[in-house]
Amino acid sequence: IYNLEPKFPNSLTTGKKNSLSIYLNAIREAMIGLGMIESLSFLLTSKDVQYKAFGILSKDELSVEGSKSTEHEILPNSLVPLLLQSLSYNIHEQYPQELFEIGKTFVKSYSTIEERWSIGAVVAHADASYSNVKSRMQALLRSCFGKEAITIASTNHMFMEGRCAEVIFDNKPIGVLGEIVPDAVENFRLR
């Protein structure tokens, strides 16, 4: 190594940040500005975290063939279970706990697999409410995209019936928000 001499590369290009990184950093900064703490999870998760904790049977998930660990056997289709798992690891910490994560989710549809960047958030404290979560979601969309979203009543296995809404942005459904089902709260041992 001492015999190597430094030299300039043949190409005179310069590096710059990837446009997706710039976009995701803007979202990250907005969420931090809203008082939330970023959580980072593994890309692989378990069927117990993603489905069983919510009291449902496994769906047509994307699983790792021959996984050596049941904790890392499937690709997540939602970040919410991973965030609830983070809360369960931190039950000894004081509330309020308000976490978000930006990560990849995977949806299997017939013979195709859709990989997409997603954002998930959880708010855990005595005064947590639908209005609090919706106002943060609206603030995020306003600050990053300059537009408002609407919410309409919906159902989802992760959220209590009658306490779930679908988020519509530019006339397209982009997500859901609501109150976590009691089974999941109990299974993740949340207060």
The position carrying tokens 């982009």 is 174
pLDDT in tens, 10-19: 877 777 889 9
Q: How far apart are the first and last CA of the chain?
A: 57
Q: What's the confidence (pLDDT) of residue 111? A: 79
Check: CB of residue 25 under 8 Å from CB of residue 119. no
pLDDT at 190 over 90: no
Find the helix or strand (DSSP H, E) in which 31 lies.
helix 19-33
Please state, rounded to an integer, the average pLDDT across all residues of the chain: 89
User: What digits encode the pLDDT tens for the residues 119-169?
Assistant: 999 999 888 888 889 999 999 999 999 999 999 999 998 999 999 999 999
Give the amino acid at 41. Answer: S
Question: Rounded to two decimals, what is the model's pTM?
Answer: 0.85
The residue with tokens 């855990």 is 124
Dihedral in degrees, nearest 10, Cα atoms 135, 38, 48, 125: -50
55/73 Cα distance (integer angstroms): 18
Q: What is the mean pLDDT of residues 170-190?
A: 92
pLDDT score recorded for residue 46: 87
pLDDT value for 128? 87
Q: Give the separation between CA 182 and CA 161, rounded to whole angstroms.
A: 11
Within 13 Å and on the Cβ side, how many CA atoms surround 182? 1
pLDDT tens track for 90-119: 888 888 899 999 999 998 877 788 899 999
pLDDT band at residue 32, thresholds of 50, 70 and 90?
A: very high
Examine the pLDDT at 59 and tell me if it is beyond 80.
no
